[in-house]
Structure 1
């Protein structure tokens, strides 16, 4: 069976399974071949499982695991990496198999092996546990991709050391590689590879061009060679690779150009421009109104004459793609924009102002207001991190407080989706220096941002909202700062409670490992206020925290001592 998709990955599939001399077939295999967007973002997945024959419920474990993987994998967020999606689903399936075996005496001890292959774009991923196997035939040479998880002991030969349903802690082998047109992949249970050594497997695969014929021949030959177990296999041929990469396939509008500078009253694709909201070196934001339904929206586009226009176009398109997959009232609400004549995307309009605009107007944030804003910020950041997206530019200018009281974390232009294997070339520097974590400034580290760097920016943002200063001083662009010890915010605002000061300093720690581990942890610390003990690094002595103050006191004491000595000498 050939899956023909224009400009998509094309594969040919074949599978076979037979019970053999046993009374029951405890193997199970399956393949999912989606179309359209799912084929681009998730790919094709094939799996084979072998329920443990010595346990009741082996067939049930094998079938449930394969069916669950093939369905639940496509329900994971598109921004997740293939590895994270597969591992998350398999861990959930492992917990279910364990729970079902413990709950139902009829299937007590149910367990299964599993080998699964995901083909996405120009790469493949293998997830493997147990002794079912995966092979690849390339240029006439057969290579075993998986490693059997059996005990390395003469008396335990063939006994599995790992399987789904054996242990609460699931250890999965995950391997990734690059695809080539003409590759042939093979998934099979021990009922096939046991009776057929690798040279014979290679010979059969080379002598049968059709994958269905090859899979049937392998199963029949395994049983004819004395196989005493269930025999199952799946053969997958890579017919053609996609013409475009994953990122390219998601940005058909990349051929469009920015509309140029727009003026109030100008019409564009049924939208009336009302005013320019914001202008940066790379982007332009306009307030627009849809003529058809009078809805007010925000239009984001690029500066028309920027030198890095091809790069910025890809970044803008990815920002729209990520925004459409985020569901949180604290994150941008990206709207559909059909039949665009030029490059832009639309977001919902919310009256209000950014926190930086409010600071510039002289607004003073109380401690309680800062805590409330921090709680909303953490909720939005938690939703972002759950999708494996790092913001990388958290600051008051990117935090919009609407008249409805909702804080929204804006501007995903320099965000990083960890699951995207084909990232576009980013700008030379992302983020704003004073809000960038110390690791950003370390040369030759290849640092591209992390959840810890986002937490650092949250800490600096809270610090700045309360004090209008920065914990390590203001950092100018292209400066190479040295980070010593943060100035406690109570130096500028004595009304800040101790617990909040500790929380901010923990978030702003120089070492990433000393910051909060998750956005939820930081959120709970803010919500529970002083009832939560915020673990901090050991407090530094005063001489290290504020050496100027120490030497001032030393000088004052010495001055008093000299005056007293002079008085005594004059007597």
Structure 2
């Protein structure tokens, strides 16, 4: 006898008298198969403020962004973890974009309902409305977050309004026949609760028709009261059938997968044959493997067999794959999906045939300044790709940068990678310290100070300095700092003195990006990257190491010309 599964149906209606004032968005996602079992169904509604030039973009991006990222989260995360992390990342992105927008902002109210198994999970911020109709009971599930200023009501809490976000969360059991209504504040003052119930129950078999009835009634009531220019949207979601019993979430299965044993070349695991051991550390093992079925070569990363299941790093290991999957860049290592179900705890990345930056520098001691700056700029694009997704790498150093035979740079090792969500930066700093600080780590990690994108900027600039000079910018490595007074010992050693080919402007840019005080570095990484590109952009330029020294210095150039002319004059006298 087949067991019952969660079955849902929905309807929608949208009325916008003036398309230019459209600022609401709604959507329902009913996935199939394993994704439905792991993540459930999702219904959302968003609504930006009327006085916002970017209202339409804000509402649409909030809904599309949540759906795309929520269904990309790892299957072993529960609903609350997945949705909360996605909303925090989405909020950080919207807030950063709003600060750069000339007019308006990416600020919007948002309500998201996730139905999985026999439970509902509601996430809410702002003033969008979600009601539940259960039998004769019509109940508002969301709480309004609004301020009344000068007779105009503004959301007091919304997506993209602040760097951190406070999310209302409710979890409740589902009952067969539950109806959830999603709408916006524009309908307030039009229909009474009893009218909602009557219009929905009139013919509940067709939810699209029920939404149309609600929209028509709301428009008619609004016009009769003299304010008919507001857009109205209604969305209904009904629980038609519930599963026979709650099913185990994949988190229970995936989180309890055993750590792989110590592997050697020739060993096999889940159809993956170990070709070589690339790294063994206290936290992890990294192997080059070959899928015996597809012949693909990949990199397997697994926790160290010595770690206990209570280890904090092991908890973060479960997040690494999802963190890296968010970044789409040719300069960042790419995560691969296994061709078989996993029986052990690990994840796979694309194999890059090449060498680390440290190995490359040893093999190319005569590399030109232009070659080194090209590598530095590629690495900068990798760091930018992470920052655009609100991620900190925290382990940028020559051993984590790969260069393939074509000169392509790929940033690897995400052991300390962490999202820049509100309140998570202290945890990010502790994770970086647990993984291990390096001589390229920013001083704030050793001194327990606030960290952020400029901390990655320091590590990146330190790596570039090392690439150009073969040395470190300070006599005392920042990871050896014990107290704030030690910062006085960090006296910048000019890169130009160690490599005369480094232009003065580039040396000054490195000095600023490597300032021991985080607040004094470049506000944006793009400003530092612009300075790195300048030597390569100059046509005759200072960045061309292959050019003779006389042509890189105008004074020396004219001195050389004068010497040649003098020699010709002397020869002409001697030959008379």
Question: TM range, normalised to the smaller chain?
Answer: 0.5 to 0.7
Native 8 Å contact 1:118 1:126 kept in 2: no
Matched, 1:270 2:284: no
2:565 is aligned to: none
Native 8 Å contact 2:512 2:521 kept in 1: yes
Tell me by how many angstroms 1:433 deviates: 3.9
Q: What do residues 254-297 of structure 1 show as CA deviations (whole Å, max 9, x unaligned)?
A: 32222211122222222322221211111111222233343332
1:178 is aligned to: 168
Tell me by how many angstroms 1:413 deviates: 1.6
Matched, 1:438 2:443: yes
Tell me by how many angstroms 1:391 deviates: 0.7
Mapped partners of 2:20, 2:265: distance in 1 = 71
Native 8 Å contact 1:45 1:117 kept in 2: yes
Tell me by how many angstroms 1:457 deviates: 0.4
2:304 is aligned to: 303
1:146 is aligned to: 146
Decide which moves more: 33-42 or 263-272. Answer: 33-42
1:31 is aligned to: 26
Tell me by how many angstroms 1:502 deviates: 1.0
Tell me by how many angstroms 1:222 deviates: 9.5
TM-score of the pair, normalised by structure 1: 0.64
Native 8 Å contact 2:447 2:481 kept in 1: no
Unaligned runs of 5+ in 1: 53-60, 99-112, 163-169, 533-571
1:492 is aligned to: 498
Matched, 1:82 2:90: yes
Q: What do residues 364-415 of structure 1 show as CA deviations (whole Å, max 9, x unaligned)?
A: 6653333122111011112222222211110111111222211211101210
Tell me by how many angstroms 1:342 deviates: 1.4
Tell me by how many angstroms 1:499 deviates: 1.8
Mapped partners of 1:361, 1:452: distance in 2 = 31
Matches within 5 A, 1:78-477: 81-84=89-92, 116-119=110-113, 124-126=123-125, 134=129, 143-147=143-147, 152=150, 176-181=166-171, 187-190=183-186, 192-194=187-189, 227-230=225-228, 232=232, 234=234, 253-307=254-308, 311-337=312-338, 338-358=340-360, 363=365, 366-418=368-420, 426=431, 429-430=434-435, 432-443=437-448, 445=449, 447=450, 449-475=451-477
Mapped partners of 2:58, 2:342: distance in 1 = 44
Decide which moves more: 365-374 or 324-333. Answer: 365-374
Count of aligned pairs between the two proteins = 472
Native 8 Å contact 1:68 1:93 kept in 2: no
Native 8 Å contact 2:354 2:405 kept in 1: yes
Native 8 Å contact 1:378 1:522 kept in 2: no
1:501 is aligned to: 507
Mapped partners of 2:5, 2:365: distance in 1 = 57
Tell me by how many angstroms 1:147 deviates: 3.9
The verdict on how the C-alpha distance between 1:289 and 1:75 changes in structure 2, with shifts beyond 3 A counting, is closer
The verdict on how the C-alpha distance between 1:219 and 1:26 changes in structure 2, with shifts beyond 3 A counting, is farther
Tell me by how many angstroms 1:30 deviates: 5.3
Mapped partners of 2:55, 2:364: distance in 1 = 64
Mapped partners of 1:457, 1:439: distance in 2 = 11
Mapped partners of 2:15, 2:341: distance in 1 = 52
Tell me by how many angstroms 1:432 deviates: 2.1
Mapped partners of 1:285, 1:378: distance in 2 = 25
Unaligned runs of 5+ in 2: 73-85, 115-119, 133-137, 174-179, 539-576
Mapped partners of 1:24, 1:365: distance in 2 = 59
The verdict on how the C-alpha distance between 1:134 and 1:16 changes in structure 2, with shifts beyond 3 A counting, is same
The verdict on how the C-alpha distance between 1:346 and 1:528 changes in structure 2, with shifts beyond 3 A counting, is same
Native 8 Å contact 1:136 1:144 kept in 2: no
The verdict on how the C-alpha distance between 1:217 and 1:515 changes in structure 2, with shifts beyond 3 A counting, is same
Measured on the aligned residues, the alpha-carbon RMSD in Å equals: 5.4
* SS of the residue 2:410 aligns to: strand
Tell me by how many angstroms 1:450 deviates: 1.8
The verdict on how the C-alpha distance between 1:429 and 1:264 changes in structure 2, with shifts beyond 3 A counting, is closer
* SS of the residue 2:472 aligns to: coil
2:75 is aligned to: none
Q: What do residues 9-54 of structure 1 show as CA deviations (whole Å, max 9, x unaligned)?
A: x9997777789xx9999889653121345995995321468989xx
Decide which moves more: 361-370 or 421-430. Answer: 421-430
Mapped partners of 2:358, 2:217: distance in 1 = 72
Mapped partners of 2:446, 2:18: distance in 1 = 65
Native 8 Å contact 1:259 1:343 kept in 2: yes
TM-score of the pair, normalised by structure 2: 0.64
Mapped partners of 2:41, 2:273: distance in 1 = 38
